[in-house]
Amino acid sequence: MTTTTFMPVTDGGKANLLDHLSTALLPYSTVLNIAPEDIASLSADAQSFRYTLQSASDMQAYSQSWTAFKNNQRDGTGAIASWPVVPALVVPMPTAVKPGIIGRLSSLVAQIKTNKNYTAAMGKDLWLIGTEIVIDPVSWKPVISVQFQAGHPTVLWTKGQASAIEIWVDRNDTKGFLLMTINTDPNTADTASLPFAGSSEMWRYKAIYLLHDVQVGQWSDVISVSVGS
């Protein structure tokens, strides 16, 4: 199974696409019937998002410097350290834009790709041709863990490209592993009755992904937890 996507996963990748498209689209604007106000909006979005990413990075670095300063102040030795210096925002600031930059970008790309004059060559030049992603269900293997809520185990898992997951449980009652549930949304609480007060039991869980209602991939590693008091 394969799929393609033009939209980068990371914020940095999205910023790069915005930067590129805001300049590369201009020569195609007439043939693709892109209005000047849409070009202006794209440019403003690109500048604003890039500025926001850089400012957020600066502030995160500032926060990390305070953490390092705090740890050194608490446990360090040597001379007195200076307070971390507050970073200054770069000026001039770009024009503020409305929320929804990526939504506007996706709508613009859809408009471009449905234009009768659009070609694959344009798509490659504008970075709108997605890379092929190969989905291989044979290699899928759930990674599960357990946390407790009000004494009941909750099996934690991620969905990925799967349709759902089967979770099986062995409650140490000589019945072995039995199907506990099929779930389409992480995570999954085990609501079975707990051992009686003052006792505990070792319960075991395992899981396997489903794709179109069929088991695929490999079983997860079995995880054991002590349930009860």
Tens digit of each residue's pLDDT, the chain (229 residues): 555 678 998 999 999 999 999 999 999 999 999 999 999 999 999 999 999 999 999 999 999 999 999 999 998 888 888 899 888 888 899 999 999 999 999 999 999 999 999 999 999 999 999 877 677 899 999 999 999 988 899 999 999 889 999 999 999 999 999 999 999 999 999 999 988 888 889 999 999 999 999 999 999 999 999 998 6
Per the DSSP assignment, residues forming a β-bridge with 148 are 153
What total number of domains does the chain contain? Answer: 2
How many CB atoms within 10 Å of residue 171?
19
Q: Are residues 108 and 143 in the same domain?
A: no
> What is the residue range of 49's domain?
2-134
Q: What is the DSSP letter of 87?
A: P
Of 106, 134, 162, which residue is a domain's last? Answer: 134
Q: Are residues 90 and 145 in the same domain?
A: no
Q: Are 169 and 183 in contact (CB under 8 A)?
A: no
Of 139, 108, 92, the C-alpha closest to 41 is: 108
pLDDT of residue 3: 56
Global model pTM greater than 0.75: no
Q: Are residues 92 and 167 in the same domain?
A: no
